[in-house]
Amino acid sequence: MPAAPLIQPRTLKGFRDYLPETMIPRERLIDTAKQVYRSYGFSPIDTPALEYLEVLTGKGGDETDRQLYRFQDHGGREVGMRFDLTVPLARFVAQHVSELGTPFKRYQIAAVWRGENTQRGRYREFLQCDFDTIGTRGVASDIETVLVIHDLMRAIGFERFTIRINNRMVLNGLLERLGLGERATAILRALDKLSKIGPDKVAEEMMAAAGASAEQAADVLRLSALTGSKDQMLQQLEPLVAGSDIGQEGVARLSQILAGVRAAGVADEQLALDVAIARGLDYYTGAVFETFLEALPNIGSVCSGGRYDNLAGVYTRQDLPGIGASLGLDRLLAAMEELNMIGRVRTPADVLVVFFDAGHLNDYLRLAGQLRRAGLGVEVFPEAKKIGQQLKYADQRGFRVALIAGSREFQAGECQIKDLQSAQSETCSLANGAEAAIEAIRRLLGA
């Protein structure tokens, strides 16, 4: 019989495979996010990739609904793949609130799917690293959200970044004064595109999609163009929302957030008041946040979020306000690669045990076991080959250290510890097992 034709190996547009040199730093970022989230008392949860379609549609806006991957399952049910982790969280809390209690603080790190046009650092399947607080409207939770973002960016290794803060209540207050309150959703969707399409196009969209007059659109854009220090901008905002209770509350909460974050020790230059930020998703109701890298501002926000006090209301009559943010892990990794912050490493282990004497396989395995029990990551090369071939393998994979021993070394009761970055070697005694080798390796690794 003729051989079956080969299937061309390929990935769908907007999707990607992760090779070890990408997956290793990716997992390190995930571990860092978990550590920061847990340090603030956030607990892990998980939710299904598939939800009933009615759970997802109409929550993020028309554009999100268009991007939704939807189909009918084998039971004839209309289902969709989650486009973010916040909408499933609202469903989750409404379903389990009696067991969870409030306030409830959670983090979730999982894949989401959006059928959107691909761009630098953004794919149709991507990972979100979310943290949220449910069940309180207290401004302390708004402040804590900024603090978590700050600590997360610092823990990842960034010093120069800016967390931009706004409050949708301010924008809604202005729209209320302008007689555009009932058209706020369309106005804010247009305003959210300001950095991408510019003020003229935004004004055109406000007039075409929301029915705003040219004067009304100009007033909204005037608000977004405010400049000065954070305190000066707060002073300028007050008369713009005078007479609107919601607008005045928004300004007051912005002032409280800035004061609280400063009191917690965040450097003032890492905060910015940006009244043009609206965030594209419809469910935001209060404070909103976006985080930009000073070295790569054009890559977009790498950690965003905000307050959504009404989202769970479509699932339960219980009042379940929420606030949170999400680390854009894949976008951040793309930025880190561009900034040469990620070394080319294909192994999570630091030490390669070179295996070139077939008669000593058990000795190599014993040494590797002693190193692992000391907390070191160790790989034993699987075949007895020439040292040069194995050291080339070590270099390709990014090992930091090689442990080398043959019949002569074992007979003398010693081994060689080779620093693969400097090519310097150190002889270590095996009289007390691998103790001397472990000490030498830790010294090289700076552990």
Report d(CA 362, CA 368) in Å as an integer: 10
User: What local confidence, expressed as pLDDT, does residue 121 receive?
Assistant: 58
Neighbours of 135 (CB within 10 A): 20
Q: Which helix (H) or strand (E) holds 378?
A: strand 378-380
Domains 20-338 and 351-445 share a fold: no
In this prediction, residues 155-172 reach a mean pLDDT of: 93
Q: What is the reported pLDDT for 279?
A: 73
Q: Tell me, what DSSP letter sits at residue 213? A: -
Q: What is the pLDDT of residues 360-401, one digit of tens each?
A: 999 999 999 999 999 999 999 999 999 999 999 999 999 999
H/E stretch holding 443: helix 435-445
Alpha-carbon separation of residue 145 from 67, 274, 322 (angstroms): 28, 17, 11
List Cα–Cα distances, 219 to 168, 178, 179, 229, 241, in angstroms: 16, 8, 12, 21, 12
pLDDT of 425 over the 70 cut? yes
Identify which has the larger pLDDT, 185 or 335. 335
**Choice between 279 and 39, residue whose per-residue pLDDT is larger:** 39
Report the alpha-carbon distance of residue 334 to residue 375 in Å, rounded: 31
Res 204 pLDDT > 70? yes
Class in CATH terms, 351-445:
alpha beta
Q: Where are the domains positioned within the chain?
A: 20-338, 351-445
Q: Is the pLDDT of residue 321 over 90?
A: yes
**CA nearest neighbour of 354 among 318, 327, 392:** 392
Assigned fold of 20-338:
BirA Bifunctional Protein; domain 2 (3.30.930)
Tokens of 390: 């194995």
